[in-house]
Amino acid sequence: MARSRPATTRQANSAPRQRVSLMERMIFALARYATALEEKICVDSLTGLGNQQYLRHRLSQEFTRAARYGRDLSLLFLDIDHFKVINDTYGHELGNAVLVKVSSIIQDSIRKTDIAARYGGEEFVVVLPETPAQGAVVAAERIRDSVAHGASLGRHFGRVTVSVGVSYYPDSAASAEDLLCGADSAMYQAKRGGRNRTTVLGGDEIPGDVPDPERSPLFVAPDWEKLYL
């Protein structure tokens, strides 16, 4: 009949396992904390979208990938029209509500593979991997039209609108910064053209008063429409 080991021996043998288990729990807790901290650093606290730091990091990644493998890459730069008037007239609380609503519409209007971020203030950026200029225009008009019809301040002010600039690699940018600056420049061209419209860098301008953007010549190519749906 085998003799049982003394209690002191069993306790001595279990001590290393307990230490390993405690260490594993500490490592797991630290990993969770690091993940939460990274998310907090990269997320805009008001809208829940990525912030500018997150945007620049992801844009650099996507541009490197597009340049290395010869892929299309497009970028949208959006700005809420007359946002200062909204803040000055109705206060920052309503202004924040508009930012949240517009960011929600942007997120609902893009693919899971796209990258949306609040660039700062009332400006937003969307990075569109594997998307040529035609597909980017489809995406831009979808967002612009959705904001115009879904982000109202009520009858006393009217609808909220956005102006959108579009740039794309490789034709209109040689670097990630070119892509961002190009779309920003196109957005300001849309502002000068009357707002509530999409402007492609060095190309066409699509005004928001087109009754049905789907009937515009830029939107009839079924391949691009299928690509972005």
Amino acid at position 190, single letter: A
Task: Please list, in sequence order, all residues whose beta carbon lies within 8 angstroms of the beta carbon of residue 216, skipping any fewer than 6 positions away.
Answer: 206, 210
Q: Is 39 a catalytic residue?
A: no
Q: What is the Cα–Cα distance from 136 to 221, expressed in whole angstroms?
A: 13
Q: What is the Cα–Cα distance from 191 to 198, expressed in whole angstroms?
A: 9
Determine which one of 38, 122, 130, 177 is catalytic: 122
- List of E strands, 107-222: 115-120, 123-129, 162-169, 197-200, 205-207
Q: What are phi and psi of 118, to 5 degrees?
A: -90, 115
CB contact at 8 A, 83 and 98: yes
Residues assigned a catalytic role = 122
